[in-house]
Chains A and B, each alone.
Chain A
Amino acid sequence: MPGGAAGTGWTLYPPLSVQMGMGMDMAIFAVHILGMSSIMGSINIITTILNLRAPGMTLMKMPLFCWTWLVTGFLLIASMPILAGAVTMLLTDRHFGTSFFSAAGGGDPVLFQHIFWFFGHPEVYIIALPAFGVISHVIPAFSRKHLFGYTSMVYAIAAIGLISFFVWAHHMYVTGIPLTGQLYFMYATMLIAVPTGVKVFNWATTMWRGSLSFETPMLFALGFLVLFTIGGLTGLVLAMTAVDIQVQDTYYVVAHFHYVMVAGALFSAYAGLYFWLPKWTGHMYNEGLGKLHFWLSMIFFNIAFFPQHFLGLAGMPRRIPDYSQQFADFNMISTVGAFGFGFAQLLVLVVVFQAMKGGAKASAKPWDGAHGLEWTVPSPAPYHTFEDPPAFDPTEAHA
């Protein structure tokens, strides 16, 4: 690509992104395509959830995974067009003589950051909410108990989705926004801790006095709970503007969002993968390899990312190609962890491939504690799963 790849990071801040070569135009094109597919996918999911539920399944009896997807769908529809607008303005600034983000023409580079993060913060919850849904199925199944506080879970999901639109400038504390702005965004961001806390407490209470077993999906769900809580708590530290100014754009932020995102996106996806793999393939997966995959992931993840908290506090900036010698030791540990974590993920390919090829036949409901309509059909599920609307048993509701 003439001019090289787009070297701005995912945030695409101008004027740096205006300097880039054609790679940036390609990135803008890719963002538009992703945005369109996200919006169309969301419309599909929302209409399906609102129109095609089984008879008797009211919204408040819906599986939580569907609830999280319903809220995620709305977040995508509301936030993706904002990003599309931002990158389109960037495109016209680059090629058609506009000055949205250039002070020389009466614009403001920081305007882009406001628009970007108005999309960017809800985006974080777009990734995290479906994860919350998966965990809300896996933990009750392996605790052999109903999910604690279903109603408050639904309200917490909706509250997190809504508040996510009111906190965007906590990514911009150092851009010179006014003191009153910093204070407002600090208080609003702290507020997110309340519904997030409710969810963690509900999961913990679901396990309380249950009958717990630790198959791979449950291990990944517990891993999620530990890592996500650490990431959430460092998020509270970052919400404090005065402290954030010390660690903004350092490895502390890198550590924070990996604890939230790897737990939120990856560990929960693995929990869901191992949970539903028997349903998808009709075979049980290799439990030993699954557990090995979990333990290697959990150990190497922490080796890779926990030291980055220290690097960030000591002042190591992110997005630098080389660093001062004082940061070398923790970086070495982090590198070892990152390679270990990366190689450990190859195991999941083996596990999935094996389950696709063969193995012990899975029954319609391989997990004795699981609830929900998907476990009433054979494994693997037949084509056109429910040709006739299924009979919905209200005692099976609430995951």
Chain B
Amino acid sequence: MAGLLGMLAGPANAAWQLNLQDPVTAVARRVYDLHSLLLWTIVVIFVGVFAVVAWSLIFHRKSIGHKAADFHDNTTVEIIWTVVPLLILIGIAIPATSTLVQMRDTSQPDLTIKVTGYQWKWGYEYVTGDAAGVKYMSVMSTPREQIENKAPKGEHYLLEVDRPMVVPVGKKVRILTTAADVIHNWSVPAFAVKTDAVPGFLRDTWFRAEKEGTYRGQCSELCGKDHGFMPVVVEVVSDEKYAAWAADQQKQLAAAAEDPSKVWKLDELAARGEKVYAANCAACHQANGKGLPPAFPALDGSALVKGPKEGHIDIIIKGKPGTAMAAFGGQLNDTDIAAVVAYERNAWTNKLGEVIQPAEVKARRGK
């Protein structure tokens, strides 16, 4: 009952939005107008047809003594109601075609960003422009407590990420999409952009945002367990802010380059591994290591985790074909893999006390 009352009261930021989101690109505006044109066309057709039906229902009833006429063919009207819809269709096809042609024209971009779909996060890689070479993961930042109703839901519940895509306003941004595991779909309604990310193939789309702001979308192709939890957030900023952001990213990139031959101690490695685990592994294997059997096995007490470390490193690098266990070799560097292996082998009840060095991970790559 309390739940029902809560539902009736409604969330604080309730919205009764009836139409498409406010368009922020020229293409999205054309799509918006095209949809409005179609909507009014079908409303007129519906009202026209059902006005005739309603007339019959009211005036041609048996209960008021109406006698049935006897006709069952009329070639003239049949030709009319074949030709007229055809003409209406041609009328709509013209704006529909030109909008689509504009939508698909990805030529001469100012900036190109490669988007990779992972189960269940987005990878962004700036291919050209000031931020060329910058590469990071964009992971949903809504806390688990909000999802499990243990904390009140925030304003951008399920539509917020740790690191959004940042693009300059007014520039033509070309998006290349691909995926690492299954098909995902990168979508931002305000830009009228929605393109599948197909593993092993590149697709492209584009947008030129006209207004600064934060725009949100979601993965739009069923991609497994956490399909609903991989939002897309794009921040559109001024040229100056973008240049500053790019310079800052480049600086961090240089600083983050770490020495792969460094020898780590267990506690610092496990501390780093816990973070890697939370970002990459916990969605399936759970923070407590118990997994969600039967699809996602437990790591706590797992024979594989407690077995030889080579097998443990290999499954993280290569994944396990035919299951949801993805290959993380391309997503994580040697230090991250060493850290997460060390963490898993020492967390929960797996107290093996072993340290794994990045050099050992490097040695397993390609084996």
Question: Which residues in A have some Cβ–Cβ distance to B below 8 Å?
Answer: 1-4, 7-9, 11, 13-16, 18-19, 21, 94, 102-104, 108-110, 143-152, 174-176, 179, 182-183, 186-187, 190-191, 193-194, 197-198, 200-201, 204-205, 207-213, 222, 225-226, 229-230, 233-234, 236-237, 240-243, 245-246, 248-250, 310, 313-315, 317, 319-326, 328-330, 332, 398
Q: Is the CB of A324 within 8 A of B159?
A: yes
Given contacts A9-B222, A325-B14, contact A146 B35 (CB under 8 A): no
Residues of A near B275 (CB, < 8 A) are none
Query: Which of B8, B12, B14, B53 has the most chain A CB atoms inside 10 A of its CB?
Result: B53
Q: Is the CB of A186 within 8 A of B96?
A: yes
User: Which of the residues A14, A147, A176, A182 comes within 8 Å of B196, measured between beta carbons?
Assistant: A176
Provide 26 A-B residue pairs closer than 8 Å at the C-beta atoms, listed in order of the A residue. Answer: A13-B221, A13-B222, A16-B182, A109-B199, A143-B60, A145-B70, A148-B74, A149-B72, A182-B100, A198-B81, A207-B60, A209-B68, A209-B69, A211-B68, A229-B46, A240-B96, A242-B31, A242-B34, A313-B17, A317-B218, A322-B147, A322-B158, A324-B157, A325-B11, A325-B14, A329-B14
List of 9 A-B pairs having minimum Cβ-Cβ separation, nearest first: A103-B200, A320-B228, A176-B203, A233-B42, A209-B69, A146-B72, A211-B68, A315-B189, A207-B56
Residues of A near B77 (CB, < 8 A) are 205
CA distance A24 to B66 in the complex (A): 58
Q: Does B108 contact A (CB under 8 A)?
A: no
Q: Does B247 contact A (CB under 8 A)?
A: no
Closest Cβ neighbor of A152 among chain B residues: B78
Q: Is the CB of B89 within 8 A of A204?
A: no
Given contacts A148-B73, A201-B81, contact A15 B182 (CB under 8 A): yes
Closest Cβ neighbor of B188 among chain A residues: A315
Closest Cβ neighbor of B67 among chain A residues: A211
Give the shortest distance, in Å, between A331 (CB) and chain B (any CB). Answer: 9
Q: For residues 36 through 64 of chain B, which have their beta carbon under 8 Å from a beta carbon of chain A?
A: 38-39, 42, 45-46, 49-50, 52-53, 55-57, 60-63
Residues of A near B183 (CB, < 8 A) are 13, 15-16, 109
Q: Is the CB of B224 within 8 A of A16?
A: yes
Give the shortest distance, in Å, between A378 (CB) and chain B (any CB). Answer: 26
Q: Is the CB of B222 within 8 A of A210?
A: no
Give the shortest distance, in Å, between A158 (CB) and chain B (any CB). Answer: 15
Given contacts A194-B86, A324-B158, contact A210 B34 (CB under 8 A): no
CA distance A147 to B72 in the complex (A): 6
User: Which of the residues A147, A200, A222, A243 comes within 8 Å of B35, measured between beta carbons?
Assistant: A243
User: Which of the residues B45, B55, B219, B294 comes within 8 Å of A233, measured between beta carbons?
Assistant: B45
Q: Is the CB of B156 within 8 A of A324?
A: yes
Query: Which of A109, A143, A241, A242 has the most chain B CB atoms inside 10 A of its CB?
Result: A242
CA distance A207 to B82 in the complex (A): 19
Q: Does B249 contact A (CB under 8 A)?
A: no
Residues of B near A187 (CB, < 8 A) are 93
CA distance A4 to B66 in the complex (A): 61
Q: Is the CB of B62 within 8 A of A144?
A: yes
Give 5 new A-B contacts, CB below 8 A, not counting A212-B61, A236-B38: A15-B183, A150-B73, A204-B53, A229-B50, A315-B189
Give the shortest distance, in Å, between A212 (CB) and chain B (any CB). Answer: 5
Given contacts A94-B322, A243-B35, contact A15 B196 (CB under 8 A): no
Given contacts A243-B34, A315-B21, contact A174 B196 (CB under 8 A): yes
Residues of B near A150 (CB, < 8 A) are 72-73
User: Which of the residues B45, B53, B100 comes within 8 Å of A207, measured between beta carbons?
Assistant: B53
Q: Is the CB of A246 within 8 A of B192?
A: yes
User: Which of the residues A21, A175, A213 comes within 8 Å of B294, measured between beta carbons?
Assistant: A21
Give the shortest distance, in Å, between B148 (CB) and chain A (any CB). Answer: 10
Question: Interface majority SS on A: helix, strand, loop or mixed?
Answer: helix
The A-B contact count (CB < 8 A) is: 287
Q: Is the CB of B31 within 8 A of A176?
A: no
Give the shortest distance, in Å, between B116 (CB) and chain A (any CB). Answer: 14
CA distance A324 to B218 in the complex (A): 10
Residues of B near A237 (CB, < 8 A) are 35, 38-39, 42
Q: Is the CB of B89 within 8 A of A194?
A: yes
Mask: chain B, 195-212; 1 = CB below 8 Å from A; 0 = not: 110111101100000000
CA distance A310 to B20 in the complex (A): 8
Given contacts A243-B31, A245-B194, contact A8 B103 (CB under 8 A): no
CA distance A111 to B85 in the complex (A): 34
Give the shortest distance, in Å, between B107 (CB) and chain A (any CB). Answer: 12
Q: Is the CB of A236 within 8 A of B42?
A: yes
Given contacts A2-B294, A194-B89, A204-B53, contact A175 B228 (CB under 8 A): no
Q: Is the CB of A19 within 8 A of B21?
A: no
Q: Does B253 contact A (CB under 8 A)?
A: no
Mask: chain B, 287-299; 1 = CB below 8 Å from A; 0 = not: 0000000110000
User: Which of the residues A19, A109, A143 comes within 8 Å of B323, measured between beta carbons?
Assistant: A19
Q: Is the CB of A242 within 8 A of B157?
A: no
User: Which of the residues B62, B198, B323 comes within 8 Å of A211, measured between beta carbons?
Assistant: B62
Given contacts A109-B199, A176-B203, A197-B85, contact A15 B181 (CB under 8 A): yes
CA distance A314 to B215 in the complex (A): 13
Q: Does B251 contact A (CB under 8 A)?
A: no
Residues of B near A7 (CB, < 8 A) are 224-225
Give the shortest distance, in Å, between A35 (CB) and chain B (any CB). Answer: 23
Given contacts A9-B222, A194-B89, A243-B35, contact A210 B203 (CB under 8 A): no
Q: Is the CB of A198 within 8 A of B222?
A: no
Given contacts A16-B223, A201-B81, A230-B46, contact A245 B192 (CB under 8 A): yes
Given contacts A19-B322, A237-B42, A325-B153, contact A317 B219 (CB under 8 A): yes
CA distance A210 to B60 in the complex (A): 6
CA distance A322 to B140 in the complex (A): 14
Q: Is the CB of A234 within 8 A of B42?
A: yes
CA distance A183 to B85 in the complex (A): 19
Q: Does B220 contact A (CB under 8 A)?
A: yes
Give the shortest distance, in Å, between A111 (CB) and chain B (any CB). Answer: 11
Q: Does B333 contact A (CB under 8 A)?
A: no
User: Which of the residues A175, A210, A326 comes within 8 Å of B198, measured between beta carbons?
Assistant: A175
Q: Is the CB of B89 within 8 A of A190?
A: yes
CA distance A179 to B107 in the complex (A): 14
Q: Is the CB of A329 within 8 A of B103?
A: no
Give the shortest distance, in Å, between A144 (CB) and chain B (any CB). Answer: 4
Residues of A near B350 (CB, < 8 A) are none
Q: Is the CB of B18 within 8 A of A313?
A: yes
Closest Cβ neighbor of B203 among chain A residues: A176
Q: Is the CB of A326 within 8 A of B17?
A: yes
Q: Is the CB of B96 within 8 A of A241?
A: yes
